[in-house]
Amino acid sequence: MMQDKQSNVHISKQVIAKIAAKGIQEAQEIIALMDGRIKRTDKNKFYKAVRINIREVEIAIEVYPVVQFGVPLHLICRTLQLKLKQMVEKMTGLIVSEININVVGVEAV
């Protein structure tokens, strides 16, 4: 006779950060992400600057981008919020409850 055992699926913060970073990489207006005092300009390393906080089945995402000068900040931030929420929820099945985008700089390209 088979016994049912409860199974768990764990998705690491790094995996969630990589999913979110992929969405950020696609935004041409994002020049870099700040990771503390480190300015990450290599888009392949953006995941290192994405902060993830997991609470039960909800996720909070926080990023500190440097944005191209002249871009309407409120529009790029809202677009990123929607894109990251969609990507992370679709790939993980978890609920993204917050996406905080803290613009820390603008630069001319």
- What is the number of alpha carbons within 13 Å of residue 89 lying toward its C-beta? 13
In degrees rounded to 5, what are phi and psi of residue 42?
A: -80, 110
Q: What angle do CA 87, 91, 97 make, to 5 degrees?
A: 60
Q: How confident is the model at residue 1 (pLDDT cuts 50, 70, 90)?
A: very low
Measured CA to CA in angstroms, residue 106 lies from 1, 52, 72, 109 at distances of: 64, 24, 11, 10
Average of per-residue pLDDT values in the chain: 93
Encode pLDDT of 16-44 as tens digits.
Answer: 999 999 999 999 999 999 999 999 999 99
pTM (2 decimals)?
0.88
49 and 18 Cβ atoms separated by less than 8 Å: no
